[in-house]
Amino acid sequence: MAKRDGAGHRWRWPLGLYTTPVLLIVLWQLLSMAGAMPTQFAPAPHEVLNAGWDLYRSGELLPSLGISLQRAGLGLALGLAVGISAGLLGGFLRSGEYIFNGVFQIFNTLPMLALLPLMLVWFGIGELTKVLLIAFAAMVPMYVNLFAAIRGIDQRLVEMARTNDVSMFRMLRQVILPGSLPGLLVGLRFAMAYSVLGLVAAELVNADAGIGYLVTRAQTFLQIDQLFFGMMIYAMLGLLADQFVRLLERILLMWRPSYEAR
């Protein structure tokens, strides 16, 4: 009986997580073919893919994608370095909490787009502003989730380690890090998603290269198919980032029993 249920489950979701997006794209294509969705409102999926193919043949797509990925990677790495370091110190040490927690809670309420004009004034319109905006978007959720995860560790484990005179470094390595790993991965998922949002915000303002530049140019010349293709790339980056963190969870949290949805 269990096998039949499993087979039915696979039949209902043949593409797993991608089933719903694919069905929506198919519905979008059918509505476009039936004339229910005007081209100037939303071009058909095959027209969007043709626009992407034209960008690829013109030699613009891959260099633009490389520039965007470089920006996102640098910003994400910087944001994770700051967020994880501050989260460990804030969660593990009382003095660290006093130093970082108030500041990061303030940062957590500041929207990225509100900071963008200030960063433009401080750092100009170059690459530094774009990387820092992405880093800001990534570091805040990383800190908030890691701090909460460390403070949520079972206090009995900490007391047992202290009773056995475990050094601070050993407690950090054997108690704090394993206990906070699920929360750290949640923070990583949000950080990677927010870094894509930061990339979108950074590239849509005074960008002369990257996917955002292609999107802005398409908007200027009313090339709706290229505009949709650029948005599709951003969406795929977010989806791939989420899948990467899910893979890490399966590998790093194999030891932890968890709820299995049916």
d(CA 193, CA 137): 9
Torsion of CA 221, 223, 229, 232, to 10 degrees: 80
Q: pLDDT at position 43, please?
A: 85
Hey, where are the domains in the chain? 46-251
pLDDT in tens, 87-124: 888 888 888 888 888 888 888 888 877 788 888 888 87
Task: Give pLDDT, residue 255.
Answer: 67
Give the model's confidence band at 12: pLDDT under 50 very low, under 70 low, under 90 confident, else very high. low
Token pair 């949000």 in the structure block, residue: 190
Average pLDDT over residues 220-239: 86
Q: Hey, which of 19-33, 44-58, 167-181 has the most confident mean pLDDT?
A: 44-58
Instruction: Work out the mean pLDDT of the chain and round it to a whole number.
Output: 81
Tell me the CATH number of domain 46-251, given options 3.40.50.2000, 1.10.3720.10, 1.10.230.10, 3.30.70.1450: 1.10.3720.10
**Rounded CA separation 214/42 (Å):** 18
* Whole-number pLDDT of residue 78: 94
Cα-Cα-Cα-Cα torsion 43, 48, 49, 55, nearest 10 degrees, comes to 150
